[in-house]
Structure 1
Amino acid sequence: MSATRPLHLAAEIGGPPRYDAADYVALARLAERGALDFVTLQDSFTRPGLDALAVLSRVAPATERIGLVATVTTTHTEPFHVSSAVATLDWVSGGRAGWVVDVSTTPAQARLFGRRHAAPAEAVWREAGEVAEVAARLWDSWEDDAGIRDTSTGRFVDRAKLHPVDFEGTTFRVRGPATVPRPPQGHPVTVVDAAGEHSEDIAARHADVVLLRATRPEEAAGIRERLRARAAAHGRRPDALRVLAALTVDLGA
């Protein structure tokens, strides 16, 4: 008789753009009452609407248990700011933050920033992996007991317990250390939607949770085994990779 495994459930609370935080709070609370593990809030440079990380920072104090996972596009975005924003969500939620790593490939989105031209998927996903790596290093740049907060001496932090990361990627450099203290989780949960070859490799290297899309159970099982094998090839424990299937649910009218 095989051992039972827990069923992990999550839901996306996005949809059409809304500008009232109460809508997102209500959906997150509903998911929390339904015993879901986490909710995601999609974001991109192509959709109008509020910033996902900021919205979930508003949702955080109105919820108690559920995980809050925002999409973060790493292309055209400063990695240091990405790390700080995700760490901030982890602090305001009491250790319930996560982020979905995403990329931007279109010239139209590149023009919004005017900093550089669009790059092919392989390049921006490679950069996304580097952002995930430097974010983890920045979260580790504060030792757990670096914060002092001693009002009698006016010392907030023990600088000897802050460490530069000195990371150089293909398109950016980060010296560090972080300006936000080490998050309550240590490393907020990293999620990757493994919809293609390049994102699969980043998922195998860096993800805690992988979202996959499949039309048949055997297809999902095959992708899962491929991801686990790639994780092992990168020196990771395959069991450290939680793989969830994405489903479209039609509730009717």
Structure 2
Amino acid sequence: MSSSHVPRRLHLAAALDRRSVYDAGEYLAAARLAERGTLDFVTLDDGLARPGPDASAVLARVAPATRRVGLVPTLTTTHTEPFHVQAAVATLDWVSRGRAGWRIEVSTTEGEARLFGRRHAAPADALWQEAGEVADVAARLWDSRQGDAEIRGTGTGRFADRDTPHHVDFTGSAFSVRGPSPVPRPPQGHPVRVVDATGGPA
């Protein structure tokens, strides 16, 4: 069958967004409802200037209280370090037993840039190019600890550590990362990356 005739599966999701809500109970109740409704995943928005708790931390709390539904926080790539972003996603994948995703977002406003004080706002197309590089290096960092690389020395009886890390040595347009990741390779290998592609630059 040609690829043009492969049936596509519709994935259903719900947003757990709750403006200025800090009680984990509300997020838990909404995620459990989505799971009972057999939705594929839930998202939780996050933004650098938005009041509210950290999305990845909230979904890490939701993870042990759910069993099947995917958990997809928004993580902004513009002013956050790629090394920390990939570690947060990998950690969520571990605590959820392979149900993590990552909704990639950029930060375009000068107000958000001033929160960090490291650089000015940039055009959206440049920020999305950087976001693509962050997604690329995240995958490389997830692969920097290959769990199936055990080497057995039959003559010596010695074993190589199956978690022996390797460096990624990545240089992008606005950052460089050497690695390796401190978090073991996620259960999914590469957690799902989600982009709202309704906007032109994205």
**Do both share a fold (TM > 0.5)?**
yes
In structure 1, C-alpha distance between the alignment counterparts of 2:199 and 2:34, rounded to whole Å: 29
- 1:115-166 per-residue CA deviation (whole Å, 9 max, x = no partner) reads 111111011111100000000000011112369xxxxxxxxx9277311000
Indicate the structure with greater helix content. 1
TM-score by length of 2: 0.89
| Cα distance, 1:142–1:107 mapped onto 2, change above 3 Å | same
The alpha carbon displacement at 1:181 in A equals: 0.2
Find the counterpart in structure 2 of residue 48 from structure 1.
51
Find the counterpart in structure 2 of residue 178 from structure 1.
181
Find the counterpart in structure 2 of residue 79 from structure 1.
82
For the pair 1:98 / 2:78, whether they are aligned, the reply is no
Alignment of 1:1-253 (within 5 A): 6-145=9-148, 158=161, 161-199=164-202
The alpha carbon displacement at 1:105 in A equals: 0.8
- 1:155-192 per-residue CA deviation (whole Å, 9 max, x = no partner) reads xx927731100000011000011100000000000000
Gaps of 5+ in 1: 148-156, 200-253
The answer to which structure, 1 or 2, has the higher relative contact order (CA under 8 A, 6+ apart) is 2
Given that 1:146 and 1:162 are in contact with CA atoms closer than 8 Å, whether structure 2 keeps it comes out as: no
Name the aligned partner's letter for residue 41 of structure 1. L
Gaps of 5+ in 2: 151-159
Given that 1:60 and 1:68 are in contact with CA atoms closer than 8 Å, whether structure 2 keeps it comes out as: yes
Given that 2:170 and 2:177 are in contact with CA atoms closer than 8 Å, whether structure 1 keeps it comes out as: yes
| Cα distance, 1:92–1:146 mapped onto 2, change above 3 Å | farther
Given that 2:163 and 2:184 are in contact with CA atoms closer than 8 Å, whether structure 1 keeps it comes out as: no
Given that 1:141 and 1:177 are in contact with CA atoms closer than 8 Å, whether structure 2 keeps it comes out as: yes
| Cα distance, 1:3–1:166 mapped onto 2, change above 3 Å | closer
Q: Secondary structure at the match of 1:161?
A: coil
TM-score by length of 1: 0.71
In structure 2, C-alpha distance between the alignment counterparts of 1:48 and 1:131, rounded to whole Å: 25
Q: Secondary structure at the match of 2:74?
A: strand
Find the counterpart in structure 2 of residue 243 from structure 1.
none
The alpha carbon displacement at 1:5 in A equals: 5.5
Name the aligned partner's letter for residue 191 of structure 2. P
Name the aligned partner's letter for residue 142 of structure 2. W
| Cα distance, 1:121–1:62 mapped onto 2, change above 3 Å | same
Indicate the structure with greater strand content. 1
